[in-house]
Structure 1
Amino acid sequence: MNLSELDSETPSETAASPRPADFVEALAKGLAILECFDAAHAEMTLSEVARRVGLTPAAARRSLITLQTLGYVGQRNKRFHLRPKVMTLGSAFYFAARIDEVLQPDLRDLVRQFGDASSVGTLEGTDVIYIAHNSVQRARRAAAVVGARYPACATSLGRVLLAGLPDAALDRYIESVRPEALTSKTITDPCELQQEILRVREAGYSTTVDQLDYGITALAVPIRGPDGTTVAALNTSGYTGMVTPDLLVAERLPTLRATASRIGHMIQRYPILQSVMGA
Structure 2
Amino acid sequence: MTTEDTQKPGDSYVQSFARGLAVIRAFDAARPEQTLTEVASATGLTRAGARRILLTLQTLGYVEADGRLFRLTPKILELGFAYLTSMPFWNLADPVMEQLSSQIHESCSAAVLDRTEIVYVLRVPTHKIMTINLSIGSRLPAYCTSMGRVLLSALDDAALDETLAQSSIRAHTPRTITDLGELKATIAQVRQQGWAVVDQELEVGLMSISAPIRNRRGQIIAAMNISGNAQRHTAKQMVKEFLGPLQQAAQTVSELVARRG
Asked if TM exceeds 0.5, the reply is yes
Q: What's 2:7 paired with? A: 16
Q: If the length of structure 2 is used for normalisation, what is the TM-score? A: 0.81
Residue in 1 aligned with 2:92? 102
CA contact (8 A) 1:141 1:214 kept: no
Q: Which runs of 5+ in 2 are unaligned?
A: 1-5
From the superposition, tell whether residues 36 and 164 of structure 1 become closer, same or farther in structure 2 (CA, over 3 Å).
Answer: farther
Please tell me whether residue 135 in structure 1 is matched to residue 125 in structure 2. Answer: yes
Taking structure 1 as the reference length, the TM-score comes to: 0.77
Provide structure 1 residue ranges, at least 5 long, that are not aligned to the other structure: 1-14, 272-279
C-alpha distance in structure 2 between counterparts of 1:257 and 1:173, whole Å:
26
Contact 2:26–2:43 (8 Å) recurs in 1: yes
- Asked if 1:248 is matched to 2:235, the reply is no
8 A contact 1:141–1:215 mirrored in 2: no
Give me the CA root mean square deviation: 3.1
Give yes or no for contact 1:119–1:144 (8 Å, CA) kept in 2: no
Q: Give, as a single letter, the amino acid of the residue that structure 2 aligns with 1:168.
A: A
For 1:147, the equivalent position in structure 2 comes to: 137
Size of the alignment, in residue pairs? 257
Residues 176/91 of structure 1: CA separation in 2 closer, same or farther (3 Å cut): closer
Provide the residue aligned with 1:64 in structure 2: 54
Deviations 1:36-55 (A, max 9, x none): 43334434444544454454
In structure 2, do the counterparts of structure 1 residues 96 and 211 end up closer, same or farther at CA, with 3 Å as the change threshold?
Answer: same
My pick for the range that moved more, 180-189 or 133-142, is 180-189
Report Cα offsets for 1:135-189 as digits up to 9, x if no partner: 2224563333222222222321111101111111001112221135555544445
For 1:117, the equivalent position in structure 2 comes to 107
**Partner Cα distance (2:66, 2:203) in 1:** 31
Query: Using the alignment, how far apart are the partners of 1:200 and 1:215 within structure 2?
Result: 22
Name the amino acid aligned to 1:198: A
Are 2:239 and 1:268 aligned? no
Tell me the amino acid that sits aligned with residue 18 of structure 1.
P
Q: Residue 199 and residue 39 in structure 1: after superposition, are their counterparts in 2 closer, same or farther (change >3 A)?
A: farther
2:22 corresponds in structure 1 to 32
Specify the structure having the higher radius of gyration (Cα): 2
Cα distance in structure 1, aligned partners of 2:201 and 2:39? 29
